[in-house]
Copies of this chain bind each other. A is one copy, B any other.
Amino acid sequence: MTDLSTEPAPDLAAVLAHIDAHRDAHLQRLMDYLRHPSISAHDIGIREVAGLLVEMLERLGMEAEAVPTAGHPMVLGRRSDVAGAPTVLLYGHYDVQPPDPLEAWVSPPFEPTIRDGRIYARGAGDNKGQHFAQLLALEAHLAVHGRLPCNVIVLLEGEEEIGSPQIAQFVRDHADRLRADLVVTADGPLHPSGRAVLSLGVRGMVGFDLVVRTGRTDAHSGNHGGLMPNAIWTLVHLLATMKTPDGRITIEGLHDPIRPPSNAERAAAESLPVDIPGYLAEMGLVRLDAPEGRAFHDRLMFHPTLTINGLHGGYGGPGSKTVLPCAAVAKCDVRLVPDMTPDQVLDCVRAHVARHAPEVEVIGRGGMLPSRTPIDSPYTAVVADALRLARGEAPLVVPSFGGSLPDYVFTQILGVPAFVTPYANADEANHAPNENLSIELFHAGIRSGAALLSRLGGMRTEG
């Protein structure tokens, strides 16, 4: 089914030519889109931008709707042009991070500005520039051929930046309208080398706080030191039972559900480029985290982590204060690999804490399942080949990102393979001041989206 010719077929070549001929107009339209704030955390502009997107989907001949949820609306569109062709669900999110600190922006976050071949604006990379490229790819196919080569569902969320609190329920409630053969998300950055990336999974995540209070108030460390238990020592000793200095998580049962990576996943991970000195220099590190000897990519893909996000208790000001603290809190997260679940991990943590420090309270903070699309899915090669056709170079196939996205709603709730094909530059500065998107990569994203539709159009599903 995979066509490994280096030249696009004529129908795609015409669409790519159309895209190349409309670079300026596409750029201007992205700039217009980025001018509209849509900050989910502050509920600014969300409904206005959802409305703009519904209009745009309707202009693409889609049945489109801003579907209400208990939170912000989901923008949903559908167009079914080819019976028997696969249906691809294109996921993205139209909300953006808050832009503060404003004073750190060279140009205002909602006044898109071009400098050095990049568009600077909040949302340029994360995620407006990327899902807008997908929509322009649909438009280009329609402009050239009058129809899409496969069936398309567009789902644009308005709460991704606040943790996607509604998406699981939404996907459960609307599973019939979301029935697709695969999900493709354009989000995140290319490899730092500039190579395209095709990612098949994400780690899951669960957060929890460890909270302890040993006494009514902080006390004088001389008058009470030796008598009153110290809340920070309680947390230090508890945490030290949860992970060894050489990097083994020692919470009983935590690893039990882990499914070892397949040979294909291992091989894919091993074939990824590694530049440890470059990574250390970039992050200002002198060594990688424990355990020693673990392969670079395995660390992010195939192993859970237990991160202390913060630990605070007692005096933290200048100089010293000889206080014996009565209260301390450690905020932690665990990144999950298949088939760990947030509930399973929280159960293990609670049981561990009950055994080792029953006076410590565990406050679960919810989480997200991991997601992993099998590398031997029939769509893996097709999506990879579309990227190759659009960009002239095969993508790096990444079995899993280290971070967490709610892809499980597609792989585990809808039960379909899900792929992430990032379009942004590695230094897009998402979630930070001066977020930006390379203009070249924006155009390459439109081309990639177009190639994806074309390649899928060449397939026929069994149904």
The tally of residues in A whose CB lies under 8 Å from a CB in B reads 75
Tell me whether B284 and A227 are in contact (CB under 8 A). no
A196-208 vs B, Cβ < 8 Å mask (1 yes, 0 no): 0000001101010
Judge whether A303 is part of the interface by a CB distance below 8 angstroms: yes
Judge whether A108 is part of the interface by a CB distance below 8 angstroms: no
Nearest-CB distance from A396 to chain B (Å)?
16
Tell me whether B328 and A333 are in contact (CB under 8 A). no
Interface-lining segment among A68-76, A179-187, A238-246, A442-450: A238-246
Within 8 A of B (CB), among A237-287: 237, 239-240, 243-245, 279, 283-287
Nearest-CB distance from A277 to chain B (Å)?
13
- Residue of B207, B223, B286, B402 touching A224 (CB-CB under 8 A): B402
Knowing A223-B402, A224-B283, say if A316 contacts B310 (CB, 8 Å): yes
A400-412 vs B, Cβ < 8 Å mask (1 yes, 0 no): 0111100000000
C-alpha gap A328/B240 in the complex (Å): 16
Tell me whether A325 and B305 are in contact (CB under 8 A). no
Q: Which residues of B contact A296 (CB under 8 A)?
A: 227
Interface-lining segment among A42-50, A213-221, A379-387: A213-221
Judge whether A168 is part of the interface by a CB distance below 8 angstroms: no
A283-301 vs B, Cβ < 8 Å mask (1 yes, 0 no): 1111111100010100110
- Residue of B221, B237, B401 touching A223 (CB-CB under 8 A): B401
Nearest-CB distance from A435 to chain B (Å)?
15
Judge whether A232 is part of the interface by a CB distance below 8 angstroms: yes
Judge whether A51 is part of the interface by a CB distance below 8 angstroms: no
Tell me whether A310 and B325 are in contact (CB under 8 A). yes
C-alpha gap A209/B240 in the complex (Å): 20
Knowing A226-B299, A402-B223, say if A331 contacts B325 (CB, 8 Å): no
Task: List 9 additional contacts besides A207-B320, A223-B401; criterion CB under 8 Å.
Answer: A217-B284, A221-B305, A223-B402, A226-B402, A227-B402, A228-B288, A309-B321, A315-B331, A322-B333
